[in-house]
Amino acid sequence: MLAFIGGTGLTRMDNLRIIRRQAISTRFGDPSAAVVEGELDGQNVLFLARHGDPHVLLPHQVNYRANMTALKEAGATAIVAVNAVGGITAQAPTGALVLPDQIIDYTWGREMTLFDDPAEPLVHVDFSWPFDSALRNGLKEKLAASELKWNDGGCYAATQGPRLETAAEIIRLERDGCDIVGMTGMPEAVLARELALPYAMLSLVVNPAAGKSSHEITMAEIEAVIHDGMANVCRVLTDFAGGYTA
């Protein structure tokens, strides 16, 4: 079953006809919220609010291992994750959607693997290409048919948060080859790989990254972009779910 993970600005999908809510407890603890099963454009899908419902968890407080394990146990066979991000390069203007194809992890102190039990074998997964090509191609098809601003490809920088980055840090990230910056892409993406769950990311650019505009970044501006942008994201996800085949 296709699953969606909602980030900042996407705590619920209003057009999702809810069938049931599953309170799943995992060996890693409880997920951020109940796993919601519902119908979206004729397809049964799962939905999980990454930051809780209501939004209460900071990026470094999210129990990513519990979230991903709960989705797997609920029947997820593929995941599309939504993220609100800052735009670093010209290919990621504010309001655009980005389908990243690479990721660099700058986080620290997070539980990064499911394979940390000394009584079980250690597993090293291949993470050369973090995002599933079939999911990305399906999303590209829907985006290409829309009139939205979007970009195919780009590198996502996963930073620790919850503060926004300094201008110097953004210069460093750009020098490293990053196009967008967020706080929730890791370890979520690699945990999906460990669970053998195809995973793709759909990122909404909600602000220019630090030093990329002539004025201070404000939450009011970010929230205004999120309000309109997440409505576009929901339309894309609905179209994608309607034509999705495992």
Angle at 237 between CA 233 and CA 242, to 5 degrees: 150
User: Which pair of tokens denotes residue 114?
Assistant: 């499911």
Q: Does the annotation flag 238 for ligand binding?
A: no
Q: Does the annotation flag 208 for ligand binding?
A: yes
Q: Does the annotation flag 218 for ligand binding?
A: no
Phi, psi for residue 235 in degrees, rounded to 5: -65, -40
Amino acid (1-letter code) at residue 135: L
Q: Does the annotation flag 145 for ligand binding?
A: no
Q: Does the annotation flag 69 for ligand binding?
A: no
Contacts of 179 (CB under 8 A, 6+ apart): 87, 88, 89, 91, 92, 98, 100, 151, 154, 155, 156
Q: Does the annotation flag 210 for ligand binding?
A: no
In 3-state terms, the chain is what percent helix, strand and coil (to 5)? Answer: 25, 25, 50
b vs e for 166-185, b when ≥16 Cβ sit within 10 Å of the residue's Cβ?
A: eeebbbebbeeebbbbbbbb
Rounded Cα distance, 131 and 18, in Å: 28
Q: Does the annotation flag 183 for ligand binding?
A: yes
Contacts of 56 (CB under 8 A, 6+ apart): none
Could you please report the per-residue DSSP string of 93-126? Answer: -TT-EEE--EEEE---SS---S---TTS------
3-state secondary structure at position 8: coil
Q: Does the annotation flag 151 for ligand binding?
A: no
Could you list the residues known to form a binding site for phosphate, using ranges: 8, 50-51, 184
Which residue numbers belong to the known binding site for substrate?
Answer: 183, 207-209
Binding positions = 8, 50-51, 183-184, 207-209
